[in-house]
Amino acid sequence: MGDTILEVNDLQTYFFTSKGTVKAVDGVSFSIEKGQTLGVVGESGSGKSVTASSIMQLIPNPPGEIVGGEINFKGQNLLNKSIDQIRKIRGNEISMIFQEPMTSLNPVYTVGDQISEVLRLHQGLNKQQALEKAVVMLEKVGIPSPEQRVHEHPHQMSGGMRQRVMIAIALACNPELLIADEPTTALDVTIQAQILELMQELKDEFETAIMLITHDLGVIAEVADEVAVMYGGRVVEKTDVMTLFKNPQHPYTAGLINSIPKLKADTNRLEPIKGIVPDPFSFPNGCKFANRCDYAVDKCQRYEPQLEELDSGHIVRCWKHDSLNLKAE
Amino acid sequence: MNVEPEVRQESIETEEVEKYSQWKDAWRRLRKNKMAMIGLGITLVVIFVAIFAPLLAPHDPYYSPVMEDGQAELSMQGPSLSYPLGTDRLGRDILSRIIYGTRISLIVGVITQLIALAIGITLGSVAGYYGGIVDDVISYFINVFLAFPFLLFAIAIMAVFQDPGIEQVFLALGLVTWPGLARIVRGEVMSLKEEEYIEAARSLGAKDFRIMTKHVIPNCLAPIIVTVTLGVAGAILAEAGLSFLGIGAQPPMPSWGLMLNAGRDYLRSDPRMMWFPGLAIMITVLGLNLFGDGLRDVLDPKMRD
Amino acid sequence: MAEAILEVNNLKKHFPVKGGLFNKQQEVVKAVDGLSFNVRKGETLGLVGESGCGKSTTGRVLLRLLNATEGEVLFEGQDIHSLNKKELRSLRREMQMIFQDPYASLNPRMKVGDIIGEPLEIHGLAKGREKKRIVKDLLDKVGLVPDYISRYPHEFSGGQRQRIGIARALAVDPKVIVCDEPVSALDVSVQAQVINLMKDLQKELELTYIFIAHDLSVVRHISDRVAVMYLGRIVELADKNKLYEDPKHPYTKALLSAIPVADPEVKREKIILEGDVPSPINPPSGCTFHTRCPFAEEICKREVPEFAEQEEEHFVACHLVD
């Protein structure tokens, strides 16, 4: 441990729209170490996916723009690199898997072509070598009879299979960082279990650092080592997974944990967070969560709290965390 | 009461959400499209001219001083103060005839499209909604109609009539343009009927007619509006073509196509007689097309975001 | 025990697949293939399964939004698949539906007042001011401000739209509501709000819910009894506590073990199923689960297991359970 792969510092990604500026990501910092899985949780509009796209520099411009911060990948700031240099990194040293296995594969090429493409591009393999490696990758991600499957088109495969192919493409060049944006959300639970297990195995085998973005706390609990909770474009709490579930310090984190039905406990009533995620233009001025928070006082409405380090590695952005006694059942 | 306090809170928040509707939003984006706004401007001017033609025209467009009062010297006059665009062979004021011609062109455009709308929406939505054999039959007709070249088909229909005139032009062009519209409506309806709110309406017990008129057609208005706008331009061109060929509007109507026809003999000696009606057609059609293209960009969801 | 309000006997829904050059009917998707169960008055019956198991089709056949291929659905003793058009329309007042997608299930061109008032209009229940009053009451009932009556759906968030959908279903004062994944499109924190609202309404209006979902924890939370579907059939049906604590069918076991639990201390032994759900076009012979079942035996390939009551009120379709 201690081998930092990715360090994001004060990242700011804004979208300049006709209705005004959306600060989709506003001062986000975190780091991921080799072989570590960082879970990023949040609801829609929290900025979790924009953070991922920012690292890959896949923000559509206009209207989006990374206006500040640093993205240090193995000590080098990606924001200072040319687009050609970024292209060499994308899909090679950092790769990404997306939510929709149906649309992220090109329907006119065979899966073999699509895996080969990255290999030929980044590792300079010839056609034959690339195809051989593609078969190996398919086998690794658990696709039966890969020699035949490599010649199939995406539509001949099920959703779970396609997600496996996506993972095969993402891991083909043995990346040091894998960004997975809701990789199992579109899949059924039994298939989700397969994919999560696969990601775990691959992480153990290759020591890949993983940034896993999801809204599902269950997935977080099962695979993440560290967790960052995002709300309104900001990290509101970050700590290791055990502490997060047992001792959440931010009211939003506690609210999220309490609003999901427990499989075991037969509670009669859920405790939802009140209100809804505001639209991007109407977040409160102070703490972004103030208008939905049960504990908010005047100060929270007016001034935004800074991130505060509680004890080793547990940081929280809340004025009142020390006077709260949050419980997560 | 089972209203929870947190729910109330939620309700109050959206109070601040800006009032917004699809049409307002479309208008806002349309305003940013310069070409579309030029097109709209031209179209509005043309409509204005058509409505106030009697006030704008300096002379009676039908009055021929040559025929009625024997003032032969007024034939083929060049531009002058009292005849800004000159006169034609019969001494009629060309400017006044062009101004009144606006009315004919617009009426042809609008009535043609109304006929096309009536047939196109009915058949298109029935085909799209019911599918199956009904769709097969209607689609067959649509395809047959679309297989003919547009103007040739209109000419063929006009040839059937004993004495051609402007009313026959309405009918012929209406019959030629509905299949395009029907095809668009059919496609829209086919995708719309899979929408969950259509199923929701069915689960409420709504009859087919209600579902069509309340849920389906209002939701395919955008492409219909675009098609009709461009259709008006097409119809104006087609009417001019038919009239030029002598099988559309008949003299002494101040139809632009007819004026082109009359000017044909003087193409070399006095091209002015073709320039002005030609220019009128070009400007009107250009305006409608620019506006229609702009509308398409703004309303077609496939172009958005 | 409450009486059955809905009785389903050997219900089947097969879709022909048009294929080939000559549009011949060649294959059949057996979306629902022989369901038998009761729904009791005032209860919530959860219907869970993975995509393609036929749970949504079942919901639609129960309401006769789709016609059954075979079998019957008895609502208060009357087979709804034998009703004529007029009778069917009055059935719509008794049975309603809440849809999955709060964005697609409301007509974007209609105002909220017209959306919720539409069922009143269709059934001639109220007009004009009376209609407006009822709509406002309904908005209030689902926790929205009554003044929203003249707004359009796009002015609302997903959770609020789902409340509008619920209000529309309640407008005709139905007895049974089929809820097709009503919260799966919503944010986690909003899901809980809508679930609580549905529970409150059920108590207040004595509604019977058929709750279709793929999220097993949500289903456990809201249901009284739960049926697990696989490839068009129910493999297990029991009281929710029995089903979740003592699942009998291997598929139910695997499904339950696959759910990620939001508690990092819980480390369970997972049963990871091999492969994907087979296509319902040519489902496996015998027990359709045998291709993925870790315990499958010879008999499973040959014979369809009977959906039998293994313990009191606990139905299982498996050869290996007794």
Contact assignment for C262 to A188 by CB distance below 8 Å: no
pLDDT at B303: 44
Question: Does one domain contain both A277 and A211?
Answer: yes
Domain that holds residue A48: 4-93+173-323
Domain boundaries along the sequence of chain C: 4-94+174-317
pLDDT digits over C219-230, tens only?
988 999 999 999
Q: Which residue of C has its CA nearest to A245?
A: C263
Q: What number is the ipTM of this complex?
A: 0.81
Banded pLDDT at B237 (limits 50, 70, 90): very high
pLDDT at A186: 74
pLDDT digits over A121-155, tens only?
888 888 888 898 899 888 888 787 888 888 888 88
Contact assignment for C196 to A270 by CB distance below 8 Å: yes
Q: Which superfamily does CATH assign the domain made up of C4-94+174-317 to?
A: P-loop containing nucleotide triphosphate hydrolases (3.40.50.300)
HSE at residue C100, side-chain half, CA atoms within 13 A, is 14
Considering the domain boundaries, does residue A329 fall inside one?
A: no
Considering the domain boundaries, does residue B277 fall inside one?
A: yes
Question: Does one domain contain both A156 and A214?
Answer: no
Q: Which residue of C has its CA nearest to A262?
A: C217
Q: Which residue of A has its CA nearest to B32?
A: A18
Q: Which among C157, C184, C215, C263 is the top mutation candidate for probing chain A, defined by the most A β-carbons within 10 Å of its own β-carbon?
A: C263
Compute the average pLDDT of residues C110-124. 92
Instruction: Using a CB–CB cutoff of 8 Å, tell me whether B301 touches chain C.
Output: no
Q: Which among A270, A277, A279, A283 is the top mutation candidate for probing chain B, defined by the most B β-carbons within 10 Å of its own β-carbon?
A: A279
Contact of A244 with C215, CB cutoff 8 Å: no
Contact of A78 with A88, CB cutoff 8 Å: no
The pLDDT mean for chain C works out to 88
Question: Does one domain contain both A82 and A140?
Answer: no
| Chains in contact with A via at least 3 Cβ–Cβ pairs below 8 Å | B, C
pLDDT at B13: 37
Q: Which positions in chain A touch B17 (Cβ < 8 Å)?
A: 279, 282
Considering the domain boundaries, does residue B62 fall inside one?
A: no
Burial of C42 (0-12, 13-18, 19+ CB in 10 A): middle
Given A172, A196, A229, which residue is the final one in a domain? A172
pLDDT at C1: 58
Residue B8 has pLDDT above 70, yes or no: no
C193: left (phi over 0), alpha (psi -120 to 50) or beta: alpha
Contact assignment for A274 to B17 by CB distance below 8 Å: no
Question: Does one domain contain both A48 and A137?
Answer: no
| Chains in contact with C via at least 3 Cβ–Cβ pairs below 8 Å | A, B
Given A151, A172, A193, which residue is the final one in a domain? A172
Considering the domain boundaries, does residue A11 fall inside one?
A: yes
Nearest to C260 among A222, A242, A276 (CB): A222
Considering the domain boundaries, does residue A269 fall inside one?
A: yes
Q: What is the CA radius of gyration of chain A?
A: 21
Q: Which positions in chain B touch A19 (Cβ < 8 Å)?
A: 18
User: What CATH number has the domain bearing residue A302?
Assistant: 3.40.50.300
Considering the domain boundaries, does residue B102 fall inside one?
A: yes
Q: Count how many domains chain A has.
A: 2
Q: Which positions in chain B touch A272 (Cβ < 8 Å)?
A: 6
* Long-range contacts formed by A249-252: CB under 8 A, 24+ apart: A249/A310, A249/A314, A249/A316, A249/A318, A249/A321, A249/A324, A249/A326, A250/A289, A250/A316, A250/A317, A250/A318, A250/A321, A251/A289, A251/A293, A251/A294, A251/A295, A251/A318, A251/A324, A251/A326, A252/A289, A252/A292, A252/A293
Considering the domain boundaries, does residue B18 fall inside one?
A: no
pLDDT digits over C169-227, tens only?
999 999 999 999 998 888 888 888 899 999 999 999 999 999 999 888 889 889 999 99
Domain that holds residue B112: 29-56+85-300
pLDDT at A101: 66
User: C15 to chain A, minimum CA–CA distance in Å?
Assistant: 20
Q: Count how many domains chain B has.
A: 1
pLDDT at C250: 93
Banded pLDDT at B6 (limits 50, 70, 90): very low
By a Cβ cutoff of 8 Å, what residues of chain C touch chain A?
50-51, 157, 159-160, 187-193, 195-196, 199, 214, 216-218, 220-221, 241, 244, 254-266, 270, 272-273, 275-277
Residue B153 has pLDDT above 60, yes or no: yes
* Distance, CA of C252 to CA of C302 (rounded, Å): 21
Q: Which positions in chain C touch B205 (Cβ < 8 Å)?
A: 88-90, 92-93, 119, 122-123
Contacts of B305 (CB under 8 A, 6+ apart): none
Contact assignment for A282 to B13 by CB distance below 8 Å: yes
Nearest to C92 among B11, B203, B215 (CB): B203
Q: Which positions in chain B touch C105 (Cβ < 8 Å)?
A: 196-197, 199-200
* Distance, CA of B76 to CA of B91 (rounded, Å): 6
User: What CATH number has the domain bearing residue B272?
Assistant: 1.10.3720.10
Nearest to A272 among B6, B17, B28 (CB): B6
